[in-house]
Amino acid sequence: MDLATVSEELAEIEGQIADIFRALSNGFQKLEKIKDVNRQSRQLEELTDKMRECKRLIKEFDREVKGTESRTDANTHKMLNEKKQSMIKELNSYVALKKQHQSNLENNKRVDLFDGPSEGYGEENVLLASSMTNQQLMDRGHQMMDDTDQAIDRAKKVVQDTVDVGTETAAALKAQTEQMSRIVNELDSIHFSIQKASKLVKEIGRQVATDKCIMALLFLIVIGVIAIIIVKLVNPNNKDIRDIPGLAPPAMNRRLLWTTPNEIVRMDHQMIWQNYLPSQ
């Protein structure tokens, strides 16, 4: 499947990764033909830089795949993940090959370190000890001792560099361990805060539910009062419904607007009589 149909960025990144893989393959083939230790070291550094670049591109490829997940179907997404895994696998094979060459290179350096001082003295070794004077033998011995001391100094330097690297690595691991501990503590604090917030939300929910019940009860009371007022207004002579304190019967007041004086006097007598009867 052509990645250009999915995303141009993915196709471009895949092309760059393929170019780096070809360069790595050619570089390791060339490395096997190089005999000089220094040239091998420089070649390994160049190949290491290419592998770092390849790793960066694979990470970028993975980000693009995740970005296109919502726009592609399941089969296409699966194919892109398999493509990424194959790239990672191929890169890991080159990393293992690089480690192998690096180990061989370090072994060769150790051999050169201890065997180096003897180079260049082949012709001198042809001379027989019997043909050399005492002074020449002493000079030769001093020279060999000096060369041996230099080789020991170089070995000590290599050991010291190794110890320094180990110390720095241990310090870095310690710092990372402390950072992980701080992260774990922060996560515990966040988890505790989330639990506390959940309890607070539940309490607020219960209070809101209680407030709603109170509001509903008040609403029913207001509706009942309004219903009583309406019934009293419609049927003011209904004795089954008691008057609401502070609310005078409005029907009588409205009737007074169109009654005659005689009717007013009669209604007053009726009201007095009605008020008088309960006291009897």
Predicted confidence (pLDDT) per residue in 205-218, tens digit: 888 888 888 888 88
Rounded average pLDDT over 87-93: 90
- Of the pLDDT bands very low, low, confident and very high (cuts 50, 70, 90), residue 116 is very low
Residue 121 clears pLDDT 50, i.e. is over it: no
User: Which of 212, 216, 214, 235 has its CA nearest to residue 224?
Assistant: 216
237 three-class SS: coil
Give this prediction's pTM: 0.39
CB atoms within 10 A of CB 205: 10
Give the span between the Cα atoms of 141 and 143, in whole angstroms. 5
Residue 173 clears pLDDT 70, i.e. is over it: yes
- Of the pLDDT bands very low, low, confident and very high (cuts 50, 70, 90), residue 118 is very low
Residues 6+ apart with CB under 8 A from 238: 231, 232
Displacement of CA 233 from its chain's centroid (Å): 71
What Å distances lie between residue 69 and 8, 78, 80, 123, 132, CA to CA? 15, 10, 10, 72, 83
* Mean pLDDT of the chain, nearest integer: 76
pLDDT digit string, tens, across residues 132-166: 666 777 777 788 888 888 888 888 888 888 888 88
- CA angle, corner 68, sides to 62 and 73, nearest 5? 115
pLDDT digit string, tens, across residues 4-61: 677 788 888 888 889 999 998 898 888 888 888 788 888 888 889 989 999 999 888 8
Q: Looking up tokens 């398999």, which residue turns up?
A: 82
Contact 256, 264 (CB under 8 A): yes
- Of the pLDDT bands very low, low, confident and very high (cuts 50, 70, 90), residue 243 is low
Kindly state the DSSP code that residue 6 receives in the 8-state scheme: T
Contact 114, 151 (CB under 8 A): yes
Contact 28, 97 (CB under 8 A): yes
Residues 6+ apart with CB under 8 A from 37: 105, 108, 109, 112
